[in-house]
Amino acid sequence: MSLAHSPLILDIAGLDLSASDRRRLEHPLTGGVILFGRNWKDRSQLTELCASIKAVREDLLILVDHEGGRVQRFRTDDFTHLPAMGALGRLWMQADPACSGDPALRACEAATACGYVLGAELRACGVDMSFAPVLDLDHGRSAVICDRAFHRDPRIVALLARSLMHGLLQAGMANCGKHFPGHGYVQADSHTDIPVDGRSLKAILSDDARPYPWLGTVLSSIMPAHVIYPKVDARPAGFSPRWLGSILREQLGFGGAVFSDDLSMAGARLIDGRQVTYTEAAVVALQAGCDLVLLCNQSLDGSRVLDDWLEGMGQAQQQGQWSPVQASELRRLALLPSQPPLGWDDLMLEPAYLRALDLIP
């Protein structure tokens, strides 16, 4: 079977598809859509929007950052408000004499419940996957990670993340561990700055990156950090063949898909000491080993940024700067759900869903 590689993930402007949105989604290099709060009004509107995206091309991934806590794009009473993952880590550490049972087991059960509710509610509306869970460690110094992290201990992070992934799997949803090899140690926010982590490779692999090999059999995809680790490579991890090829693929044996983080973030704008265009950043990320590359929040106010990006990536492909990889396309398609979702009304009566709601802290 011959597959056209569709590695570009882009955004749309509003609550429904414009003519410009449809034209971009029809482009053969477009592999998916990432949704934001501006694309959400209520459950009915979201369901119609997702159906209209799939009507353009059924194989397009519909993605969202929907972790719980402050990173939950769809918030009204239509969706369960999930706790930040740090709440599960605190539950693990809780020794309450009034509570029966082991707190670690309760925390794992709650994590599974959160994963199932998160996945089932999104899938009932047509969303394929959320970029979750965060595998960063909570070093107590990163404002952008903070309580998005489960815990400081990589063993606890791995076990809670595995439990949450199990819940996602029950709902028929893939997962994405982020931000490899770890964003929790640095203070700077890669949305607005270029964080630098000066530790050695040995220190990083023995601490922040420990969850990745422990979760190797269950991780569907990962997202690398826009962080520079100068003792390993001068490039941010998401643009580094050493991080993504030598370390992640070869040393740690990861076989799933690799998403870039948003290429419009400050941490992605400087590569090899030079300001780069969005097309240049995407080409470097694909050359380094990313399977899919994201460019977010560029569809607003009639902007031509996404049109120029699609055109530029097509030209770069024709010039041989990047080549389609069938394995990458297969990894993208593997992230699509393999089973039909429960409709919302059926979900509201599903015993497993109702039990899960009771377990969410």
CA angle 306, 309, 312 (to 5 degrees): 155
Q: What confidence tier does 188 reach under pLDDT thresholds 50, 70, 90? A: low
Each residue's pLDDT tens digit, 8-20 = 999 999 999 999 9
pLDDT level of residue 56 (50, 70, 90 thresholds): very high
What class is the 8-351 domain?
alpha beta
CA distance 109 to 59: 33
Residue 263 confidence class, pLDDT cut points 50, 70, 90: very high
Which pLDDT value is given to residue 267?
77
Rounded mean pLDDT, 304-321: 96
Model confidence band, residue 101 (pLDDT cutoffs 50, 70, 90) = low
pLDDT score for 1: 38
Contact predicate 169/201, CB 8 Å: no
pLDDT digits (tens, 9 = 90+) for 270-300: 888 889 999 999 999 999 999 999 999 999 8
Across 7-39, b (16+ Cβ under 10 Å) vs e yields: bbbbbbbeeebeebbeebbebebbbbbbbbeeb
Q: Write b or e for each residue in 158-197: b if 16 or more Cβ atoms lie within 10 A of its Cβ, otherwise e.
A: bbbbbbbbbbbbbbbbbbbbbbbbbbbbbebbbeeebbeb
Q: How far is CA 57 from CA 6, 31, 61, 216, in A?
A: 12, 9, 9, 31
Say how far apart CA 204 and CA 184 lie, in whole Å.
11
How confident is the prediction for the chain on average, in pLDDT? Answer: 93
Lowest mean pLDDT among 35-49, 50-64, 96-110, 212-226: 96-110
Which pLDDT band, with edges at 50, 70 and 90, does 190 fall under?
low
Task: Say whether 84 sits in a helix, a strand or coil.
Answer: coil
For residue 95, pLDDT over 80 is answered with: no
Band (246; pLDDT cuts 50, 70, 90): very high
Token pair recorded at residue 307: 């049109």
Catalytic positions, please?
191, 261
pLDDT at 144: 82
Distance CA 303, CA 312 (A): 15
